[in-house]
Amino acid sequence: MPKALSDTETEAFRARICQTAAKLFVDEGPAAVTMRRLAGELGCGTMTPYRYYASKEEIITAVRTRGMHSLSEALENALNTPRDGRTRSRNVRDAYIDFARRNTASYRLMFEYPETNRDDADYAQAHARLWRCISADMQVMIDEGVIAAEAAILGHQIWAALHGAVMLEIAGLLPEGFDAAALHARTFVAVMEAARPKP
């Protein structure tokens, strides 16, 4: 009879399943993510993954859900500093890029592929949390009077530019001498200038 795992051990194994699935999905494509292949990569019995997730689709949704919560936590921590809005926004940018670099497979799976159970309650909660982070970053500067804009819309403009820079860095397609932060810094300055309150 298999030994019962503690809650901490169960959570750790779920995380391993998700990390392995994300890497297989991104490196080899969706067909590579099977319960049998996951079991082989994890060094466990073929049926073991089924004790944690009912299907491949449930695992992919879990990867995205976990990733969005982890990214949101990093952005929230970066924004929650006693500095001016621009500095805090740079902290948020740096935290975003750091997450994408350290969790590249999960990051790509979060945004690059359409397969997700969007009706899953946990996924919907994680998605809403990330959207709040995107708006909150801009709202700080709006409240300071530095810019005049709709936080959600401007936040998504900034996010689109940052995501694009990150994906270009991951693909190795940035101009020589630029990384995602350097490229995005130029875009950010231009957008903030356009959003300045009119006299």
CA distances from 127 to 66, 95, 105, 179 (A): 10, 18, 18, 27
Measured CA to CA, the distance from residue 105 to residue 127 in angstroms comes to 18
Per-residue confidence (pLDDT) for residue 7, from 0 to 100: 85
Cβ-contact 79, 91 below 8 angstroms: yes
Domains of the chain: 57-194 (1.10.357.10)
Measured CA to CA, the distance from residue 172 to residue 123 in angstroms comes to 30
**10-residue averages of pLDDT along the chain (199 residues):** 74 94 91 93 93 91 94 97 92 97 93 76 94 95 96 96 97 95 96 92
Q: How many CB atoms lie within 10 A of CB 50?
A: 12
- By CB atoms closer than 10 A (0-12, 13-18, 19+), residue 153 is exposed
Q: Is the pTM of this model over 0.85?
A: yes
Cβ-contact 23, 105 below 8 angstroms: yes
